[in-house]
């Protein structure tokens, strides 16, 4: 068991390079952040903020964008500093979603967030379509946060259009280049696919199967893996009915390679987080397989047969990641 635990730790380091980037292996990137469920709530709605603080959810996102009517955006913005300083969200990562950078709201949203006495862990930026918009964001943060010694903020950007998907590699490259600079006020470590906005941008008809979003989902996962970012899947808007479909959709996302999923109602949180948690059967199988790998490795064996299947290093790495995730989730549970 001790050998398996150590293997899980080593798998975590390898997984950090794959799913959290080299920075994550050093402690600054996405590897330390569970993002199985990202719950949006309008920042100006006090009742929903209080409710969210009682939930066991990986990521709470105080929204100034889509969840807030145009006339209420100043109210949401003004509520942010007080929420951040007065609300205990427990173990949850806390994010603020600002308005798109091509709107007049974005600068004022950043002013409110960066000027708050208590900052969020993360900023979510919607509708990032071009590398120039990413550059603007980094420049704005640098201007509004003049102290380069402050703890870096995490940054999650959203892919929500055909243009954004086309330029996704270039957008992520800006984040990598600016994040690797000596002055690191903000670190890009996550991608979100905005499914409904993306579908509208390509004139697709939404279907329960999400087949019209398959390419965008896969390209988001690939870009996230390429740049060491977490990948967060589309929203399912049917929160009153269709929870079986939500469970199926979340499980599919986990199988595809997403790290988590956006949610819009508390009832969705446990379903989604369970879908991204390895089952006891998966954990037990992974332990046995890794034990067998260790024994064969000690004997100098390469590929080997295990319970009717041929196992080589790619298979071993997949199951090491299951053990790492289990260890990580147990550590998160201990923080409750």
197 is in an annotated binding site: yes
- Tokens representing residue 73 in the block: 């955006």
Which helix (H) or strand (E) segment holds residue 97: the answer is strand 93-97
- 189 classed as catalytic: no
Question: Does the annotation flag 97 for ligand binding?
Answer: yes
C-alpha torsion angle, residues 222, 225, 229, 234 (rounded to 10): 40
Closest-CA residue to 259 (of 211, 217, 300, 206): 217
Residue 150, judged by CB atoms within 10 A of its CB (0-12, 13-18, 19+), counts as exposed
Nearest to 57 by CA among 225, 262, 279, 241: 262
- Three-state secondary-structure class, residue 123: strand
- Distance, CA of 224 to CA of 228 (rounded, Å): 6
Q: Determine if residue 288 is labeled as part of a ligand binding site.
A: no
Contact of 201 with 160, CB cutoff 8 Å = yes
Q: What are residue 242's phi and psi, to 5 degrees?
A: 80, 25
SS3 305: strand
Sign of CA dihedral 198, 200, 206, 211: negative
- Please pick, among 82, 298, 312, 326, the residue that the annotation labels catalytic: 312
Binding residues for Mg(2+): 160, 197
Give the residue numbers of the binding site: 97, 160, 197
Could you list the active site residues? 312
Annotated binding site for substrate: 97, 160
């Amino acid at each position: 068991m001790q050998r398996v635990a150590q293997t899980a730790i080593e798998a975590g380091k390898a997984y950090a390079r794959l799913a959290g980037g080299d920075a994550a292996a050093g402690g600054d990137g996405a590897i330390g952040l569970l993002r199985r469920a990202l719950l949006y709530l309008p920042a100006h709605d006090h009742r929903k903020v209080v409710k969210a603080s009682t939930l066991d959810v990986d990521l709470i996102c105080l929204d100034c964008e889509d969840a807030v009517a145009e006339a209420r955006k100043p109210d949401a913005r003004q509520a942010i500093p007080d929420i951040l300083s007065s609300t205990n969200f427990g173990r949850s990562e806390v994010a603020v979603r600002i308005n798109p950078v091509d709107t007049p709201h974005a600068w004022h949203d950043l002013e409110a967030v960066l000027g708050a006495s208590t900052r969020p862990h993360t900023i979510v930026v919607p509708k990032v379509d071009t590398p120039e918009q990413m550059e603007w964001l980094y420049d704005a943060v640098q201007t509004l946060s003049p102290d380069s010694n402050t703890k870096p903020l995490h940054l999650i950007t959203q892919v929500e259009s055909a243009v954004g998907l086309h330029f996704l590699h270039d957008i992520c490259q800006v984040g990598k280049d600016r994040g690797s600079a000596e002055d690191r006020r903000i670190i890009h470590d996550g991608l979100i696919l905005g499914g409904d906005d993306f579908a509208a941008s390509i004139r697709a008809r939404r279907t329960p199967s999400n087949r019209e979003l398959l390419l965008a989902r896969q390209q988001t996962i690939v870009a996230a893996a390429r740049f060491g970012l977490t990948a967060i899947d589309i929203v399912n808007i049917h929160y009153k009915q269709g929870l079986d479909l939500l469970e199926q959709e979340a499980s599919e996302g986990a199988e595809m390679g997403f790290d988590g999923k956006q949610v819009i109602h508390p009832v969705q949180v446990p379903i989604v987080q369970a879908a991204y948690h390895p089952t006891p059967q998966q954990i037990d199988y992974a332990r046995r397989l890794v034990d067998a790998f260790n024994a064969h490795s000690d004997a100098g064996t390469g590929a080997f047969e295990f319970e009717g299947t041929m196992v080589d290093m790619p298979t071993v790495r997949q199951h090491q990641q299951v053990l790492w995730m289990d260890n990580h989730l147990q550590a998160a549970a201990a923080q409750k």
